Each structure stands twice: as C-alpha cells, then as structure tokens.
Amino acid sequence: MNPATQISFAPFQGITGKVFRSIWTKQFSGVDEFYTPYFTSINHDSRLSPAKLAELKRISENNIKIVPQILSKDADEIIRFASILKNLGFDELNWNLGCPFPQVATKKRGSGMLPYPDMIDDILQQVLPSIDIRFSVKCRLGYHSPDEFNELISVFNRSNISQLIIHPRIGRQLYKGKADTDAFAAILPQLNMPVVYNGDINTPGDFEQLQQSFPALNSWMIGRGLLANPFLAAQIKGFDLPSDRPKHIRSFVEDLYIAYRKHMNDQLSAIGYMKEYWHYLSQSFDNPHKVLKKIIKTRSFDEYESAVADIFNEFEWQL
Ligand SMILES: Cc1cc2nc3c(=O)[nH]c(=O)nc-3n(C[C@H](O)[C@H](O)[C@H](O)COP(=O)(O)O)c2cc1C
C-alpha cells in the first residue's frame, strides 16, 4: 500500500450522521475524512435550523476531519452554506452531483445535473470566487450516458475545485452493474485537479486491484464496503486489528444503539436507524439474509435487543 493512502468514508443519507460518526470514530481506524450526508434547504436568513446545526456541531470527530456536503442547484444557496460553514470552522464544502435517486435527479439535482454542463459551469463560476473555503465535487460519470463526462472535463478543469470524487457509474444505473473502471481510466489523465476514486471497494483485494490499475491515485472513498466491514480501512492500511473482532463489532453495535436511543429521546425510531445500518452490516455475517430478517421484524426495544443477542450467538462474523 502507498503510505500516502487517504481513505474517506462516503456519505450515506440516514446512516452516517453525527451519531454514527461519533461512535464509529471511537472504535475503528484507517479513515481520514468523513463526508456528511447531503444538506438541502439552506434558508435565506443565513441561520441553520437547530437540527442542522447539531449535525454540524463538530468540524472533526476524534481527529477525523468532517466535510459537509450540499445538494443544490442554486449558487446563492451554496454560497450561503459555505459562509455558514466557514463561521463554524469548516474548511471545505462538497457539492453533490452524484445522487441518482429519481425524485432528486428529475429535478436536475445530483446526477440529474450532469447532462447540463452549462448549468454546472455557471454555478461553479458564481460559487468559487464568492467563497473562502475549499470547494470539492462528488459526481458520477453522467446521468443517461458516460459520454456526458466529455463535456464536463473542461468545465471542471477550468474551475478551481479542490478535488473531484468520481463514482464511475451513471445516475440511471442507480447501484446496478459494476463501477466502470475503464471509463474512469480514460478520463483520469484528462483531469487537472486531485481525483478521488469511489465505488465497489468492498475488500482489501478490491482496493489492491484498483491501486495497481491507478498507481498515481492515493485518495479513495469507500461507502458500502466500510458499512459492511468497519475494519476495511484499517485492513487496507495494514493496521493492527482487534483479535476478537466479533466482540468488537458487538460492542460497536450496542454503543451505536444506545447513542441513537439517547439522540431520539428513546423513541422507537432509534431502531429504524439501526435497521438501516443492519442492511449493510448483515453482509459480513455468514447468513446475511437471516441476520437481516431477524432485525427487520423487530418492533420494540426488547425484541431488537434479543435479536442482536441471537445474531451474535447463532451467526459467524466472517471478517
Ligand atoms: C442509502 C444511500 C444513501 C446515500 N447518501 C449519499 C449522500 O447523502 N451523499 C452522497 O454523495 N452519496 C450518497 N450515497 C452514495 C455513497 O456515498 C457512495 O458514493 C456509493 O455508495 C458508492 O460507493 P461504494 O460502492 O463504496 O458504496 C448514498 C448511497 C446510498 C445507497
């Protein structure tokens, strides 16, 4: 592994908020930055709602840098958010041009803006001279076709973005198929800013293969792989791992659950957050389907707690 390797935790709406970040960073290593799930609706009065402010309470979590993200097609809103973030002490804002979900993309937001390079150009030209924190972009290859990226290359190259995180799928694909590493290889040499690769790094082997294909890259973003296996970044970096990994995972899951209950004032929606997360974590047990089923059918705190106890008694953590 390249000693300069940087690993970012990808944003997941509904999962990687501040509660998750505060517990994760206490128990795992190998991640250098966390990107927040996207923010929207930054109102005109330049004051964030208490809920948004609470999400942005820390600029780093246990020494891991936090990078807020915005989903917007309004330059003024982006500028407003950057100014608020600057006052809160953040040094970077990330712009989401990757969200593939139709309810977002059909409104020319997220990856739905990628077929409109003039619109992206216009927003970048307005935003970059007007903010004084770094501005990075997270995008896909296009919405309808990877060919859309051809026009975006010059748009991104003439802007002053601090880095470009590329998830090499198109929006319409959602998460189907594979990340298109051939298309990524073709565009990489044409870009003049630091580039971060994101997509389908689920094992140390996946990472090694990509590192061999792109030896000049040293910055990577990992999402589902890290949700399923919180040790993945440390494994990639060759860090020491706890000897009893199932016990470590169990203690993480329990701490996360307690933190969500506290955050949600003991409302049952705390289990909803845990269920979202178990969709990914279950993948690392020997029978993901059964593990997830046990969690999904719980309807009370008691049921949830006994499902977790059963899972750690009956199923093997495989990594
Ligand atoms: C449920 C869900 C929520 C997501 N939320 C966000 C988000 O808020 N912002 C963002 O840029 N990407 C979001 N993503 C995309 C991931 O950050 C990441 O780019 C994607 O999963 C590909 O990386 P991976 O293959 O390492 O998981 C989300 C993905 C999923 C499945």
**Model confidence over 194-221: pLDDT tens digits?**
999 999 999 999 999 999 999 999 999 9
Q: Give the nearest ligand 1 atom to 222 CA.
A: 26
Would you tell me how many other CB atoms lie within 10 Å of the CB of residue 50? 8
210 lines ligand 1 (CB under 6 A): no
CA dihedral 192, 196, 201, 205 (to 10 degrees): 70
d(CA 225, CA 10) in angstroms, rounded, equals: 10
Would you tell me how many other CB atoms lie within 10 Å of the CB of residue 258? 12
Question: Which residue owns the Cα nearest ligand 1 atom 2?
Answer: 12
Q: Which whole-number Å values give the CA distances from 284 to 8, 229, 318, in the listed order? A: 20, 6, 6
Question: Which residue owns the Cα nearest ligand 1 atom 12?
Answer: 11
Give the 3-state secondary structure of residue 103: helix
Q: What is the DSSP letter of 172?
A: G
Q: How far is the CA of 95 from the centre of ligand 1 (A)?
A: 13
- Amino acid identity at 208: E
The two tokens of residue 220 are 């990577």
Among residues 92, 21, 19, the alpha carbon closest in space to that of 63 is found at: 21
11 lines ligand 1 (CB under 6 A): yes
The pLDDT score that the predictor gives to residue 296 is 98
Q: How far is the CA of 199 from the centre of ligand 1 (A)?
A: 9
Q: Which whole-number Å values give the CA distances from 179 to 111, 139, 199, 244, in the listed order? A: 15, 13, 6, 33
CB 122 within 8 A of CB 128: no
d(CA 119, CA 125) in angstroms, rounded, equals: 10
Whole-number average pLDDT of the chain: 97
Q: Give the nearest ligand 1 atom to 94 CA.
A: 11
Q: Give the nearest ligand 1 atom to 227 CA.
A: 27
Residue with tokens 């799928």: 169
ipTM higher than the 0.90 cut: yes
CB 298 within 8 A of CB 266: no
Q: How far is the CA of 37 from the centre of ligand 1 (A)?
A: 8
β-bridge mates for residue 7, sequence order: 220
The two tokens of residue 44 are 């005109």
The two tokens of residue 260 are 């969500």
Where are any strands of DSSP class E within 86-130? 92-97
d(CA 218, CA 55) in angstroms, rounded, equals: 29
> How confident is the model over 9-63, as pLDDT tens digits?
999 999 999 999 999 999 999 999 999 999 999 987 778 899 999 999 999 999 9
Would you tell me how many other CB atoms lie within 10 Å of the CB of residue 228? 19
Q: In sequence order, what are the residues at sequence separation of 6 or more whose Cβ sits closer than 8 angstroms to the Cβ of residue 51?
A: none
The pLDDT score that the predictor gives to residue 43 is 83
> How confident is the model over 57-87, as pLDDT tens digits?
999 999 999 999 999 999 999 999 999 999 9
